[in-house]
Every structure is written in structure tokens, then in C-alpha cells.
Amino acid sequence: MTTPQSFASPRPAQWLLVMTATIEPSPQAVVRRADPTLRRADYEQALRFWLRYAHPCAGRILFLENSGADLSSLRRIVKQENALGKQVEFLSIPAGRIPDGLNYGYSEMELLDAGLSQSALRCETTHLIKTTGRLVFPALGRALEMLPAAPELLIDCRRFPWPRKGADARVQLFACSHAFYDQRLRDSRFAMRPEGPRLLEQLLYARVIGCEGQSGVHLRFPCNVDPVGYSGFRARSYQSPGERVEQGLRAFLRRVAPTFWY
């Protein structure tokens, strides 16, 4: 039996939207959308979106990059196109070596751990929203407003039926209090193993599933918060017909079978 924890985050929430970025991925990352020019354009487009996004969840933005790429074009966007006057912080965090048998998820958590520790904006906020920096999520504000209070954790977990079996958590987008992150997610990459959990999606599921039922912990989004952009792994648009069918099925099941995690 899991012992309930109290994360004691302040109210009301002060949000920090964290965009994780790798503009120039290494061959070890094994992503199909690997062209730095395309990826930079993705990040620039996403940054413009969040600068225009009026919901308080994007009131402060932290851009974390781990390939050592030049960030001047992104800084220029903030300087010239920040009509809402948002605070934006850029940090370049050198990536370490990914252990054999693991994937880019190890670097993703390393980037988050180091970036949040160094961020000045984190000290001004109570909660973070982690986004894959090339993607945008137009329904994010609506999902947060559907909750009774700012979450200690909000993440989409999935359990796969036969024949696939298994479970994971969607890692493109999640929200949590800084206290929850420090207690449950910080340094979690060290638990990744080639024999499992090997993928970040598997790791985060294993780290958070024990919190099911605790106050403020939501292991399913209250509505679909679908990404807009291109998958890095498959280089396929999330607006492709196949993706739209899957998104529609997920939205339908969320309404008629909320206990079926898909």
C-alpha cells in the first residue's frame, strides 16, 4: 500500500512553461526529423505560438536547449514579437552521454533536472508545464480550467490491452508542482535500464503510478490536449489522417469509458 504524500504547493499556481529543445540531435538520438533547419523552424513556430497564448499557464517561458546550437533567432523572436510582454528565459545545457541501451529520454530528463536547477524563473513560480518544444497544445488552458484546483500532477497515462500489453505515460506534455517534480521526478533518469524501464514513457509511468488516488494527482487529462506539429521519432504530422483518427478515438473513449486508459 502506497503511503500518501503531501506536496504542499502554494495556491494560486504560478506557472512556468518549459520548452525542451534539441536543435541539432546526435545520431544516437535516432530521430527521423533530424534536420537542424527543420527543427529550428519548429521551435521558432512553437515559441511564437506560446508568446501569443493568453492563458496564464504560459505567462512565463523557459527555453532549454542541449545541443549547443545558436539561440539568437529565438531570442530575436522574443525581442520583436512578444506583444504580451512575457518573461522568457533561455538556458543552454550541455548534454551528457546517453548510456548504452537507452534513448533520448535520458537526455530529456537530464536537461530538465539541470535547467530547472539553474532557472531564475523557477524561483518565481510554483508549477511547471513540460512541453516538447517543437510542439504546441492549443487545448492546454482548457484542460487546466476543467480541474478543481492547480494539479500536483497532470499527465496522460495509458494501459495497453492485449496483444500489446504494458503501460506508459505520454511525455510530450505534463504539468506538476515544483515540489512534486523534486520529490518524484528529479534524478529519475538514473533508474532507466536497458532491460526496463528503457524508455522515458515507461520510466515516468513507473514513477507516478504509485500516486494514483492522491489529492491533486491526475493521471488522465480531463480532455484531449492534442499536439500540433511533427513527431520527431516518425517525422509525421500530428494532423495526418491516421493521427486524427487516433485522436478522435481517444476523445470518444475519454467520454464514454473514462477508466479505459488509452
Task: Give which of 126, 168, 142 is closest to 225, Cα–Cα.
Answer: 142
CATH of the domain at 83: 3.90.550
Residue 262 lies in a domain: no
Q: For position 93, what pLDDT does the model report? A: 97
Residue 181 lies in a domain: yes
Q: Tens digits of per-residue pLDDT, 13-70?
A: 999 999 999 999 987 667 889 999 999 999 999 999 999 999 999 999 999 999 999 9
Range of 39's domain? 15-256
Residue 3 lies in a domain: no
How far from chain centre, in Å, is Cα 59? 16
Residue 234 lies in a domain: yes
Judge whether residue 7 has pLDDT over 80.
no
Number of domains observed in the structure of the chain:
1
* Averaged pLDDT, 118-122: 98
Q: For position 150, what pLDDT does the model report? A: 96
pTM value is 0.91
The per-residue DSSP string of 172-218 comes to: SEEEEEHHHIIIIITTGGGG--TTSS-SHHHHHHHHHGGGTTSTTEE
Q: Which helix (H) or strand (E) holds 142?
A: helix 140-145
Q: Tens digits of per-residue pLDDT, 216-260?
A: 999 999 999 999 999 887 778 888 888 888 888 888 888 887 777
Judge whether residue 83 has pLDDT over 50.
yes
Q: For position 4, what pLDDT does the model report? A: 47
Residue 63 lies in a domain: yes
Which residue type occupies 139? A
Residue 19 lies in a domain: yes
Residue 197 lies in a domain: yes
Determine contact, residues 10/126, Cβ cutoff 8 Å. yes
Residue 174 lies in a domain: yes
